[in-house]
Structure 1
Amino acid sequence: MAKTQLNVRVDEATAEVARERALQRGMSVNRYIEELVRKDAGEVGHTFVEAAADFMEQYRTVFDEEFGKEGEARP
């Protein structure tokens, strides 16, 4: 996968925490930030799926009336 350079400005305290956390994990700051973003993106995706499942459960009867129940032949 090709890499793209991304410049980010943060205050010195945030930069120091990032350096310390990366060092504790034995990785570069770049890798640490990349993993944080990937994790965050994954959580957002997971939250979306949960919300969609909740929506489907809430409106199950509406969908059943409109499209028929699962496994039921549609007229």
Structure 2
Amino acid sequence: MAKTQLNVRVDEATAEAARERALQRGVSMNRYIEELVLKDAGEVGQTFVEAASDFMKQYERVFAEEFGLEPGGAEGAAAPTHHKGLPGTT
């Protein structure tokens, strides 16, 4: 994968902490920063998935009523092929 150079400015204490952490891990500063960003991006994705799951649990009954499904029984169930009020449906 091609690499892109980034230039960042941090205070000296932050730079020293980053150097020390990279050294402790036995990786370059570049790799250490890259790992931090990848970890953070993964956490954001996980946070989104958890929030979506919580939303679905909170509104499960509303969706079940709207689409004629049993609450808690939608896993693996086929979605209805029609819905009143939607164009092309009855």
Using structure 1 for the length normalisation, give the TM-score: 0.92
- Structure 1, unmatched stretches of 5+, are none
**Which residue of structure 1 lines up, in the alignment, with residue 87 of structure 2?**
none
CA RMSD across the alignment: 1.5
Using structure 2 for the length normalisation, give the TM-score: 0.77
**Which residue of structure 2 lines up, in the alignment, with residue 9 of structure 1?**
9
Q: Kindly indicate which of the two structures has a greater share of residues assigned to helix.
A: 1
**Which residue of structure 2 lines up, in the alignment, with residue 57 of structure 1?**
57
* 1:68, distance to aligned residue in structure 2 (A): 2.4
CA pair 26-72 structure 1, distance change in 2 beyond 3 A: closer
Displaced runs of 4+ in structure 1, greater than 6 A?
none
Q: 2:30 & 2:78 partners in 1: Cα distance?
A: 53
Q: Letter of the aligned partner of 1:2 in structure 2? A: A
* 1:67, distance to aligned residue in structure 2 (A): 1.4
Give the secondary structure class of the aligned counterpart of 1:42: helix
1:34 aligns with 2:72: no
Q: How many residues align?
A: 75
Tell me which structure has the larger Cα radius of gyration: 2
Structure number with greater CO (CA < 8 Å, separation at least 6) is 1
Q: Letter of the aligned partner of 1:56 in structure 2? A: M
